[in-house]
A and B are shown apart, each in its own frame.
Chain A
Amino acid sequence: MDQQPPIPPSDLKLLGSWADSHTHRVQLALKLKGLPFQYQEEDPLRPSAALLLHNPVYENLPVLLHRGCPVLHSTIILHFLDDTWPLHRLLLPSDPFDRATARFWSHFADDKLAPAVAAVFSSAGDGQRAAVDQVHQNLKLLERELGDGGAFAGRRFFGGDEIGFLDIVLGCGSYWLAVFEEVMEVKLVDPEAFPRFHAWLRDFEDQTEVKETIPAIDKLLEYARAVRQMMLGGGAAAAAAGGDNAATN
């Protein structure tokens, strides 16, 4: 299929964090494109020399190093992978309008949905009820796009028959919905209210490469519980315990 020479694994190095959904996006993308890479686990609280060198101001993750040159931000990395390896499976659609649509909803995922989900996790009482409501409003918009007349009507995945850019962006992060549902005891993705979104998520999580990328739910639950405890004043020890246990993965 591909006419490009084999890529030495040393060409690509990913600095990431095991529980970070943006890291998962890049890991999944690399797997889907069949690109070998080295992975370096970073502790966001104790950045490595490599991370400080390549992302000195933000120190945020993930960072993809290609022959030592850093590429930052998961969505920019995904575009970079398609630009650099166009003969490997493409993540983004080819048509400019479809690309614009995928990017629009990717922004929606990061600018609207993710903060709303995070707000559910970090709030309580009335604040949490408002946050849950906001998540539902956002999911409603996605549900509509998967339905008749929507941008993704009739598709199994946002990318069509196979998962693509938008599936990766939305999917790597959507598992937090199930985690928060359990930890916070709230209902976020009701299969009756959001049947298409629910079906999409189930199909996404069923993909081989996705199963290989996303951590086991019990590890994510443990992590989320520890962070929640810390937020509610359980102290740094609780979070550290959760993080350490889960990081041996």
Chain B
Amino acid sequence: MVAAAAEVKLLGMWASPAVRRVEWALQMKGIEYEYVEEDLANKSAALLRHNPIHKQVPVLLHCGRAVTDSLLILEYIDETWLETPLLPRDPYHRASARFWAKFAEENCREATRKAFFARGEERSEAIEQLREQLQRLDEELEGKKFFGGVEIGFADLAVGWLAFWLGVSEEVAGFTAMDAKKLPRFAAWMDDFLRVPVIRDNLPPREKTVEFFSYYRDQQLAAAAK
């Protein structure tokens, strides 16, 4: 059963990978929703009310109740709308998908953040860590097209930000972590993932994204210098 558009609302921001991840899930399941663009420099009353602790996007509103944190939103969507399951059925494979989602969300995001913002030794260490993490992801893809197998699933949606935003980060901050020759499986996955229609048709424009993150990086570094 597809929900009426008014029932599902997503508070988001166009450049955010966490927000896109939720949109990919909603679109895979054919769920209609209303999208509300947030100005993060001037957060709406709705955002602050529905996510008082973290004050972040995405926020999913379903029948007026708020779910926050993109991976939690993905699980909520999967458990509420049962067609086109995101998580596999087998308990061990579910645990594995959750593991890689946590890995991408915590370890890879942290290393990328440091590579993006840090300087000197902290930065080189972060880049090295990120390379090792990408290697682990590459190894996990042995014998598989996607983390979910033949088709994309929960883990692909969670890891997916790397397919687009890693390249953006590397360009903006001037570092190289990904090596397609050394990590052919991961490189192939990045291409295949971005070619999936639901993903391909739901990405921010690259140049505009690079511009945005450049500005964002300059801002953050200037603030840190004070």
Chain A residues in 8 Å Cβ range of B99: 71-73, 76
Chain A residues in 8 Å Cβ range of B67: 97, 100
Chain B residues in 8 Å Cβ range of A39: none
Of B23-31, B74-82, B152-160, the stretch lying at the interface with chain A is B74-82
In the complex, what distance in Å separates the CA atom of A83 from the CA atom of B88?
11
B65 beta carbon closer than 8 Å to chain A: yes
User: Which single member of A71, A100, A141 contacts B75 (CB below 8 Å)?
Assistant: A100
Chain B residues in 8 Å Cβ range of A100: 67, 72-73, 75-76
A103 beta carbon closer than 8 Å to chain B: yes
B136 beta carbon closer than 8 Å to chain A: yes
Of B89-97, B182-190, B201-209, the stretch lying at the interface with chain A is B89-97
Q: Given A73-B102, A108-B53, are A83 and B72 neighbors across the interface (CB < 8 Å)?
A: no
B169 beta carbon closer than 8 Å to chain A: no
In the complex, what distance in Å separates the CA atom of A141 from the CA atom of B79?
27
User: Are B69 and A107 touching (Cβ within 8 A)?
Assistant: yes
User: Are A80 and B95 touching (Cβ within 8 A)?
Assistant: yes
B112 beta carbon closer than 8 Å to chain A: no
B98 beta carbon closer than 8 Å to chain A: yes
A96 beta carbon closer than 8 Å to chain B: yes
For chain B, which range describes its interface: under 10, 10 to 19, 20 to 34, or 35 or more residues? 20 to 34
User: Are A103 and B95 touching (Cβ within 8 A)?
Assistant: no
User: Are B94 and A79 touching (Cβ within 8 A)?
Assistant: yes
Expressed in whole angstroms, the minimum distance between the Cβ of A9 and any Cβ of chain B is: 19
Chain B residues in 8 Å Cβ range of A79: 94-95, 98
Chain A residues in 8 Å Cβ range of B53: 108, 141
Q: Given A96-B76, A104-B68, A107-B69, are A83 and B94 neighbors across the interface (CB < 8 Å)?
A: yes
User: Are B92 and A99 touching (Cβ within 8 A)?
Assistant: no
User: Which single member of B65, B91, B95 contacts A97 (CB below 8 Å)?
Assistant: B65
Chain A residue, CB-CB nearest to B106: A111
A66 beta carbon closer than 8 Å to chain B: yes
User: Are B98 and A76 touching (Cβ within 8 A)?
Assistant: yes
Number of chain A residues close to chain B: CB under 8 A: 21
User: Are B95 and A104 touching (Cβ within 8 A)?
Assistant: no
A84 beta carbon closer than 8 Å to chain B: yes
User: Are B95 and A96 touching (Cβ within 8 A)?
Assistant: no
User: Which single member of B62, B92, B102, B132 contacts A71 (CB below 8 Å)?
Assistant: B92
A57 beta carbon closer than 8 Å to chain B: yes
In the complex, what distance in Å separates the CA atom of A201 from the CA atom of B68?
26
In the complex, what distance in Å separates the CA atom of A83 from the CA atom of B92?
9
- Which residues of chain B from 28 to 81 have any CB-CB distance to chain A below 8 Å in the complex? 53, 62, 65, 67-69, 72-73, 75-76, 79-80
Chain B residues in 8 Å Cβ range of A77: 95
A69 beta carbon closer than 8 Å to chain B: yes
In the complex, what distance in Å separates the CA atom of A76 from the CA atom of B92?
10
User: Are A103 and B91 touching (Cβ within 8 A)?
Assistant: no
In the complex, what distance in Å separates the CA atom of A69 from the CA atom of B91?
11
Chain B residues in 8 Å Cβ range of A141: 53
Chain B residues in 8 Å Cβ range of A99: 75-76, 79
The winner among B65, B67, B91 for most chain A CB atoms within 10 A is B91
User: Are B136 and A104 touching (Cβ within 8 A)?
Assistant: no
User: Are A71 and B79 touching (Cβ within 8 A)?
Assistant: no
Expressed in whole angstroms, the minimum distance between the Cβ of B17 and any Cβ of chain A is: 18
User: Which single member of A71, A107, A108 contacts B95 (CB below 8 Å)?
Assistant: A71
Expressed in whole angstroms, the minimum distance between the Cβ of A109 and any Cβ of chain B is: 13
Expressed in whole angstroms, the minimum distance between the Cβ of B89 and any Cβ of chain A is: 9
User: Which single member of A80, A96, A107 contacts B91 (CB below 8 Å)?
Assistant: A80
User: Are B65 and A83 touching (Cβ within 8 A)?
Assistant: no
Please name the 5 residue pairs, one residue from A and one from B, whose CB atoms are nearest each other, closest first.
Answer: A83-B91, A96-B79, A84-B91, A80-B95, A100-B76
| 10 intermolecular pairs with C-beta atoms under 8 Å apart | A76-B99, A76-B102, A79-B95, A80-B91, A80-B94, A96-B79, A96-B80, A97-B67, A100-B73, A108-B53
Give residues in A with beta carbon < 8 Å to B.
57, 66, 69, 71-73, 76-77, 79-80, 83-84, 96-97, 99-100, 103-104, 107-108, 141
Give residues in B with beta carbon < 8 Å to A.
53, 62, 65, 67-69, 72-73, 75-76, 79-80, 91-92, 94-95, 98-99, 102, 132, 136
Known: A57-B132, A97-B62, A100-B67. 15 other contacts (CB 8 A): A73-B98, A73-B102, A76-B98, A80-B91, A80-B92, A80-B95, A83-B91, A83-B94, A84-B91, A84-B92, A96-B80, A99-B79, A100-B73, A103-B69, A107-B72
